[in-house]
Structure 1
Amino acid sequence: MRWNNIISQALNKAILTQAQDNKEEDEYQISYQMKNQSSAEYRKSKDNFQCIISKQMVGIFVSAWVRSDIYQHIQHPRVSCIGCGIMGCLGNKGSVSVRFCLRETSFCFVCSHLASGGKEGDERHRNADAAEILSRTRFPRGPLRNLPKKILDHDRVIWLGDLNYRIYLPEATTRSLVQKREWNALLENDQLKAEFMKGHVFQGWHEGVIEFAPTYKYYPNSGIYYGCHQKKKGEKRRAPAWCDRIIWFGEGLKQIKYDRAESRLSDHRPIQAIFTAEIEVLSDSKGLGTCLSEGFDCSQNHFKDCPKEKYLCNKISELYTYESI
């Protein structure tokens, strides 16, 4: 898959040889290099990333990667796709969820594109999509009956994507506040936060502090919000909004970064987050304890009174959400 090739090159550029024009020669060089590494090269390759699982449904794409030295400890990767689009089933709207287990800790990542629309009441359609995704998403249990089946059954859950929630203000007021960079005044009228508070959607979920400009909607390849120019014939008005979000559920996750990137490939700006996650490791898994300890922050002292278990603080790689409507 082309996107996975791009991701692999971006994550592992430190050890990849310079790309050649011939694709077959490229693949041979990478394969040969991995098979003929010196010990120094091997130490470097432990920081490489490998793809656990990836899936695309129309415009929704998820790809999960881990460091090579913990890849062997990943188990039970699965995918579940839910269509919420036309007639309530097509994949132009909906979600792709991926899950895996890192030793005794299960992770679930949900990437979604919820119902669009800036009219009053459209937020109810988005709430309904989110509820549908939570209700219908199912992962096969496989040979082990104790594997999590639904999204909220997992230990660590992160939901990202174009959630499409807008701002409860007139368009002119919204544009004026954006121009003045008065984010707090805008966030007081943010639909997602309001629906959170009312208990209409994502009950018990968390979101980090937003300190960046709204991510939607821009003219193509431009830093100008849609509708700032004189309206063209047939052009719909689109007030700026934080449509793109990353939220999480449950304990054991701590967000340490939440901001936007400035890629202009879409009429949205992608957002990114970094989390630390507590990973449960059985005390007899000595090899894994050593493996995870290298290059990661360890919180063993915090849990020193738990003789049967130890927990390690594992840094999840940066998460990007990118949607094009």
Structure 2
Amino acid sequence: MWPRLVASKILGKRLGSSNFVADFPSLDPPSSSPDTIFSNHKATHNYRVFVSTWNVGGVAPPEDLDMKELLDTGNTSCEIYVLGFQEIVPLSASNVLGSDDNKISTKWNSLIRRALNNKKTGDKIHQHSNEEGKLSNDEKSSNSIPGQDFRCIISKQMVGILISVWVRSYLCPYIRCPSVSCIGCGIMGCLGNKGSVSVRFRLHETSFCFVCSHLASGGRQGDEKLRNSNVSEIFSRTNFPRGPSLDLPRKILDHDRVVFLGDLNYRISLPESSVRLLVDARDWNPLLENDQLRMELVNGELKGWHEGTIAFAPTYKYRPNSDVYYGCFHQSKKGEKKRAPAWCDRIIWYGTGLKQYVYTRGEENFSDHRPVKAIFTAQVGVLHSLKQFQSFFVSEKFDRITSQTDDFVCKRRSSFPI
């Protein structure tokens, strides 16, 4: 136990750091006023949320990588984008001990910014607003409609795990109390080569929590228990601040909208030869019936969570830069470990208020994993203040309505006999 305790003391502060990178380092909640205190008119808005997870196998993104294909920006338009990555840096002693090198995460964020804002060249995350609150030239060129460009509200790296959250800029004033919580579950049960980075924020009156995880690996019988243990630790050890009004949830499952994504590493409980034959035949049903994560969703550590229909090929394990699974009979080498294909990369959600429309995989192939992506609509509670109603009554729109009403009343009156 003592190595684990010592490591926890040394690394706890670094792995659990509440610092994160964002375009807006501090998003302070609006101050209370009589207008908000007496507000009681609540409406529901639906926002589209894109979520993806990708284990990139310790390979830095190529210079010519076009993230638009993964984000599908040409065919879909969402208000919130959440991208999770695993193994963004190669596994090494310095990385496991919590290296602060964020060059790779900066590169990934630059590629995301370029794709979302349709830029020709990437740039680093920086604060966009100037003293006058005007858009920079880069933003003006990236999107002709004010408020439609994307800003990063949270980007956090723990060793090889990275999560990056982007929203349309018109939503930024309604984002409150963003925070992060990092849990290491790796070597000695606490180092950051495995574990989770969870992010939380409130949009209008609804709290969101996204958990990006990399769970214990291994395809032997019983290895799924290690993954279940990781999940249990992530749920029990993750804590968020209560917020300035002490009204925000601290635990993952207490949030209104919760999504769990990552290389969850659950395998298929069948002999390797059977798995490969079924994969070659694209017969998914027998494979899914023996999928370890599906078993946990029905009656296990993740009971009560939801996952969309899987209608795509297993995402692990490929030979990099190819469409061939690692260890295939006709391409395996002598002494080479054979890892059976599996749906290691998953996106699941908890509770109500989320409806999934897309669940599929991407085909980028420089890693031994394929990325997985999902699109949801999320219900968000929006509180309309008295101030908003007051502004309507003094607006030009209200003047037009009342003038039209006056004209109608006058005409009706003129037709009445006196």
TM-score class, shorter: 0.7 to 0.9
CA distance in 2, matches of 1:196, 1:121: 17
Rounded to whole Å, the distance in 2 between the matches of 1:183 and 1:201 is: 23
Aligned-pair CA distance for 1:285: 7.6
How far the C-alpha of 1:43 sits from its partner, in A, is 5.2
Is 2:369 the counterpart of 1:264?
no
Percent identity over paired residues: 64
Question: Is it true that 1:141 corresponds to 2:242 in the alignment?
Answer: yes
User: Secondary structure, in 3 states, of the residue corresponding to 1:173?
Assistant: helix
Instruction: Give matches, 1:161-200, under 5 Å.
Output: 161-197=262-298, 199-200=299-300
TM-score, with normalisation over the residues of structure 1?
Answer: 0.80
Is residue 156–residue 163 contact of structure 2 (8 Å, CA) maintained in 1? yes
Q: Is 2:307 the counterpart of 1:207?
A: yes
Match of 1:216 in 2: 316
CA distance in 1, matches of 2:355, 2:296: 23
Cα distance in 2, alignment partners of residues 236 and 286 from structure 1: 66
Question: Which is bigger in relative contact order (C-alpha 8 A, separation at least 6)?
Answer: 2
* Alpha-carbon offset, residue 248 of structure 1: 0.2
- Which amino acid is 2:279 matched to? V
Can you list the C-alpha shifts for 1:46-103, whole angstroms capped at 9, x where unaligned? 2211101010111111000101111111000000000000000011100000010001
Aligned ranges 1:81-120 → 2 under 5 Å: 81-120=182-221
Q: How does 1:1-325 map to 2 (within 5 A)?
A: 1-13=106-118, 16=119, 18-19=120-121, 31-34=136-139, 44-197=145-298, 199-228=299-328, 229-284=330-385
Do 2:143 and 2:149's aligned partners in 1 also have CA atoms closer than 8 Å? no
> What is the deviation of 1:231?
3.0
SS of the equivalent of 1:44 reads coil
| Corresponding residue pairs, total | 274
CA distance in 2, matches of 1:165, 1:285: 51
Q: What is the CA–CA distance in structure 2 between the aligned matches of 1:190 and 1:33, rounded to whole Å?
A: 46
Aligned residue for 1:72, secondary structure, equals helix
Cα displacement (A) at 1:201: 1.2
TM-score normalized with structure 2 length:
0.62
Please list every run of at least 4 consecutive aligned residues from structure 1 whose deviation after the TM superposition is greater than 3 angstroms.
none
Which ranges in structure 1 are unaligned for 5 or more consecutive residues? 288-325
Q: Deviations over 1:110-139 (max 9, x none)?
A: 000000000011111100100100000001
Q: What letter corresponds to residue 121 of structure 2 in structure 1? A: A
Following superposition, the deviation at residue 235 of structure 1 comes to: 1.9
Larger displacement relative to structure 2 (226-235 or 113-122): 226-235
Code of the aligned partner of 1:242? W
Structure 1 residue 230, shift from structure 2 partner = 4.1
Larger Rg: 2
Structure 2 gaps of 5+ residues are 1-105, 129-134, 389-418
Provide the alpha-carbon RMSD of the alignment. 2.2
